[in-house]
A and B are shown apart, each in its own frame.
Chain A
Amino acid sequence: MNEFIAPTVEYAELSPLLIVLGAAVVGVTLEAFLPRRGRHRIQVVFTLVALVAALLATGWVAAGLDEVEGASGRGLIAAEGAIAVDGPSVFMWGVLLVFSIISVMLFAERRIEGGVSAFAGQAAALPGTEAEREASRQGIEHTEVFPLVLFAIGGMLLFPASNDLLTMFIALEVLSLPLYLLCGLARRRRLISQEAAMKYFLLGAFSSAFFVYGIALVYGYAGSFTLADIHAAVDNNTGSTNLLLAGMGLIAVGLLFKVSAAPFHAWTPDVYQGAPTPVTGFMAACTKLAAFGALLRVFYVAFGGAQWDWRPMIWVVAALTMAIGAVVALTQSDIKRMLAYSSIAHAGFLLVGFAGAYGGDGITSLQSVLFYLAAYGFSTIGAFAVVMLVRDPGGEATHLSRWAGLGKTSPLVAGVFAFFMLAFAGIPLTSGFTSKWTVFSAAWAGGAWPLVLLAVGMSAVAAYFYVRVIVLMFFSDPVVDGPTVSVPSLFTSSALVVAVVATVVLGILPGPVLDLAQQAGAFVR
């Protein structure tokens, strides 16, 4: 170690990541130099272009992945061991970028709020003051949300691809910090938006303290942060098992918090309700995906050898998560809150898949979870996009009673929403059915049949509250001076179209995407 050897960074393979993070930095610079007029338009176009470029780069990277000697996966370990560019990573990158593009289109929506975006015109101005009204009047808005969301996306791309715990921790923070900020930037109902930001922030910081303490303990056990080294240490059974178990547990706490699994779910309803709706959709789809990717990677790659130690824990958490999500959703009266609990329930179903078989002939839990995440993301972004559209003079009409009879006043929008509800409920010919199907069969094949029984029961319970919404929309009388459905701009409409089409296609012809998930193969160490 006498001479410093310059590190090698595989720029080509890491290009999606570098494009997104680079674009974020450029976006910040644009913020400083562009005149206010037109800044919104330029930022939107720039962000979308960057994301599309990253998506293309991902496709190119995916095409060039090589088989790894003596392993079932394809890919390589890049950036001095910091990042694993393997099949699952690339698959998640692709899906994440697609979701991000849709979400950014929702971020860009300005028509439904009368020419301004869903974000606060001036976050520093006090709610209800002259300064705030002035900002609204002049059409001033925070275009900083676009660089912020790019940073978050960058963190999400890095999170499930990290090959060592330290990088993973940094990625976790890179994705979390912008989200904390974005949550507090709602234009309407600023107080609850700020409250959501604070709750998310305090609990997020609390959970990342657990996460990093777990990393410290695992480091103490294995003497390395690299997942492969930890795997080797687990296999050779060096060091004290207690350190490993406690470390593993605390790392799980941090990750389960992000996927909003019970009992670490408590932030989800509050934050989902308070955050601006485009951000909620973005979090529900993308954060969940990134966090599940990281969870799978850590537990399969690093702790795969100790799976009989952690599997029961996942069983308990999965059961608890499904039960709490599905049961508590029954009595919710706010549509965003109900969707939040539904997202908790879906996290439970995903954990059921996670409890399944990793290897073997059948569908592996990795593939099933990847597919589920892809399918769920489209429907959930779509559902939140619909929530954005149903408005009354006070902003979004999120109270369920306001949605009564929506099917009569706006059949199209209500129909689209009902379709997403059916997808969440897992009715065949929607992506929800196929994806539930794959995770449950993976779990069954892995011997987790009691969990599958519970999961099927809980999806029946869940179906009830999804149907309740449909009944409310179509079979009850419209409320007096009820909400109206705003006509969105091309951004939201195309995002909705993509979401609907994806939900249909993944239900009828899931083959290609399942193939992709399958070709993603295993993680590379």
Chain B
Amino acid sequence: MDATPFLTLSALLFTIGAVGVLVRRNAIVVFMCVELMLNATNLALVTFARVHGQLDGQVAAFFVMVVAAAEVVVGLAIIVSIFRARRSISVDDASLLKY
């Protein structure tokens, strides 16, 4: 099994995630796109683990998942508290701070 297709897929997913962050306005969707980027990273890590024949990469992927879980909790808590105050989860609406 070659590694290149996996890595290409990972790069592709990472980029799609990044585009999502740039074009979506719904804060939750933006955040899901960040999750997609992390998932793409995990794919790369797992693939590299196979390339090098070590489990370190898989361990790293596991840690990324842990981090993602914690990040999701904090992020969603922040988004919910903003929603409650503004009745909107559009990231564009939160733009009082500028210039």
Q: Which residues of A contact B (CB under 8 A)?
A: 123-124, 126-127, 166, 169-170, 173, 177, 180-181, 184, 190-192, 194-199, 201-202, 205-206, 208-209, 212-213, 215-217, 219-220, 223-225, 269-270, 273-274
Taking CB atoms, residues of chain B closer than 8 Å to A124 are 81, 84
Q: Which of B17, B30, B48, B70 contacts A216 (CB 8 A)?
A: B48
A-B contact pairs, 16 of them (CB 8 A): A173-B67, A177-B71, A191-B96, A192-B97, A194-B78, A194-B81, A195-B97, A201-B78, A209-B14, A209-B34, A219-B45, A219-B56, A220-B47, A220-B52, A223-B48, A223-B52
Query: For A180, what are the chain B residues with a Cβ–Cβ distance below 8 Å?
Result: 74-75, 78
Bound-complex Cα distance A221 to B46 (A): 14
- CB-defined contacts of A269 to chain B, threshold 8 Å: 97
Out of A126, A190, A199, name the residue touching B94 (CB < 8 Å).
Answer: A199
Report how far A181 CA is from B77 CA in the complex, Å. 9
**Residue from A192, A209, A217, A273 within 8 A of B17 (CB atoms):** A209
The secondary-structure label for the interface of chain A is: helix
Question: Which residue of B38, B74, B77, B98 contacts A209 across the interface (Cβ within 8 Å)?
Answer: B38
Residues of B close to A219: CB separation below 8 A:
45, 48, 52, 56-57, 60
A166 and B34 form a contact (CB under 8 A): no
Partner of A217, one of B21, B38, B44, B94: B44
Do B97 and A213 have beta carbons less than 8 Å apart?
no
Chain A residues closer than 8 Å to B75, beta-carbon distance: 180, 201-202, 205
Q: Which of B38, B40, B85 contacts A190 (CB 8 A)?
A: B85
B44→A220 contact, CB < 8 A? yes
- In the assembly, what is the distance between CA of A208 and CA of B14, in Å? 13
**Which A residues lie within 8 Å of B85 (CB)?**
126-127, 190-191, 194
Query: With A126-B84, A209-B34 given, is the CB distance from A198 to B94 under 8 Å?
Result: yes
Kindly list chain A residues whose C-beta atoms are within 8 Å of the C-beta of B78. Answer: 180-181, 184, 194, 197-198, 201
Docked Cα-Cα span, A194 to B37, in Å, equals 25
Contact of A270 among B18, B37, B40, B97 (CB under 8 A): B97
Q: Which residue of B lies closest to A216 (CB)?
A: B44
17 other contacts beyond A270-B98, A273-B97, with CB at 8 A cut-off?
A181-B74, A194-B78, A195-B97, A198-B82, A198-B91, A198-B94, A199-B94, A201-B74, A209-B17, A213-B40, A213-B44, A215-B60, A217-B44, A220-B47, A223-B48, A223-B54, A225-B56
Min Cβ gap A241→B in Å is 16
A170: shortest Cβ distance to chain B, in Å? 6
Say yes or no for B16: interface residue by CB 8 A criterion.
Answer: no
Residue in contact with B21 in the complex, picked from A194, A206, A274, CB distance below 8 Å:
A206
Q: Which residues of chain B are within 8 angstroms of A223 by Cβ–Cβ distance?
A: 48, 52, 54
B49 → A minimal CB distance (Å): 8
Which chain A residues lie closer than 8 Å to B81 at the CB level? 123-124, 184, 194
A169 touches B41 (CB 8 A): no
Contact pick for A195, options B54, B59, B77, B94, CB 8 Å: B94
Other-chain residue from B54, B82, B95 in contact with A194 (beta carbon distance below 8 A): B82
- In the bound complex, residues from chain A placing their C-beta under 8 Å from that of B79 are 198
A-side contacts of B38, CB under 8 Å:
209, 212
B9 within 8 A of A: no
Which A residues lie within 8 Å of B95 (CB)? 195
Contact status A195-B27, CB under 8 Å: no
Closest 3 CB pairs of A and B: A209-B37, A270-B97, A220-B48
A-chain residues with CB within 8 Å of residue B98 when the two chains form the complex: 270
What sequence of 0s and 1s flags, for each residue 10-53 of chain B, a beta carbon within 8 Å of any chain A beta carbon? 00001001100100000100110010011011001101100110
Chain B, residue nearest A177 (CB)? B74
CA distance A217 to B74 in the complex (A): 27
CA distance A43 to B20 in the complex (A): 42
CB atoms of A173 and B34 under 8 A apart: no
Given A127-B85, A209-B37, A273-B97, A166 and B51 touching (CB < 8 A)?
no
Q: Which residues of the other chain, B, contact A123 by a CB distance below 8 angstroms? A: 81
Residues of chain A contacted by B40 (CB below 8 angstroms): 213
CA distance A127 to B87 in the complex (A): 12
A352 to chain B, nearest CB (A): 27
The reply to whether B37 and A213 contact each other, CB–CB distance below 8 Å, is: yes
B33 nearest CB across to chain A (Å): 9
CB distance from B32 to the nearest CB of A (A): 11
Query: Which A residues lie within 8 Å of B57 (CB)?
Result: 216, 219
Residues of chain A lying within 8 A (CB to CB) of residue B30: 202
A372 to B54, CA, bound (A): 41
The residue on A at minimum CB distance from B42 is A216
Q: How far is the CA of A208 from the CA of B67 in the complex (A)?
A: 10
